[in-house]
Structure 1
């Protein structure tokens, strides 16, 4: 594994830990970035309403900007739920970066299923797709 791949995994995971979805933007996984950002923001709004806090722009910005300092006003279950969402988003960003590094290696892969090819065959032994000879 090269140093670039390890750094990319670490940066994606750290960005996702700071704000779920940002690590996915770094990886250019736009759909997942929107999904994680929406899940996190929706959960934050749900926590704020169930904790009895006002939904003002100032409270939202203060809570989102300093989430760990704002957790004092949250019920324990709500804080754990928000932390779990953050951890899962972080793990997903790390996994995506690791998967992308795996696909960059020099082994020949099937253009149909992306699995490793047997060079002695004229077809993919995984999905049976015919391979063009080059």
Structure 2
């Protein structure tokens, strides 16, 4: 694993943290908006849906009727499952990206940071849907190359604007 490659996340740890404190599992995954959303949703459920008497009984250490706290349990369980599934999905995405970049052979173009940009299938087939010919599109210099306008973030792996010094998705510096 290289220095700038994001590390794999442990799904069980994300789930355990989400169970411990709502939103903490998502914060571990660096899904900040989602972490805040789950925290707000669990808190709103406790404040507006669960009866105050049930919350008071939990705080006092007495078990409340399960029907009273069921909505909060459902929301917490959904948060835990969501954190686990996100961690698994993120790990699979990282594995696919690392296997696809490691399997490339032959010459490749690099941008000014030394990274090899990915060429999407839509980029290769640009103009073929409209039936444009090369003569109608003009010389190659006149056609903007979307691959040169984007780089892959070394932290989150998403394509981001190459003119920025930071990733617009994870806000990490692109100067790795």
Which range, TM-score by smaller chain?
0.5 to 0.7
- Matched residue pairs, number? 106
State which of 25, 28, 39 in structure 2 corresponds to 1:26: 28
Say whether the 8 Å CA contact 2:49–2:71 is kept in structure 1: no
> Of the candidates 59, 62, 81, which is equivalent to residue 91 of structure 1?
81
Tell me by how many angstroms 1:83 deviates.
Answer: 1.0
Q: Residue by residue, what CA displacement relative to the aligned partner does 1:11-43 show, whole Å, maximum 9, x if unpaired?
A: 101000122211011111100000000000011
Q: Alpha carbons of 1:52 and 1:19: their partners in 2 closer, same or farther (altered >3 Å)?
A: closer
Distance 2:13 2:35 in 1: 15
1:107 aligned to which of 76, 99, 109: 99
Which of residues 5, 14, 17 in structure 1 aligns to 2:16?
14
Q: Distance in 2 between matches of 1:98 and 1:73?
A: 34
- 8 Å Cα contact 2:42/2:72 also seen in 1: yes
CA contact (8 A) 1:9 1:93 kept: yes
Task: Give the alignment of 1:18-97 within 5 angstroms.
Answer: 18-48=20-50, 51-53=51-53, 63=59, 69=61, 72-74=63-65, 76-97=66-87
Q: Which has the higher contact order (CA 8 A, sep 6+)?
A: 1
For the Cα contact (< 8 Å) 1:19–1:86, is it kept in 2? no
CA radius of gyration, larger in = 2
Output the aligned Cα RMSD.
3.5
**Distance in 2 of aligned mates of 1:40 and 1:30:** 16
Q: CA deviation at 1:52?
A: 4.5
Mapped partners of 1:86, 1:37: distance in 2:
9
| 1:113-128 mapped onto 2 (5 Å cutoff) | 124-125=120-121, 128=122
Structure number with the higher helix fraction is: 1
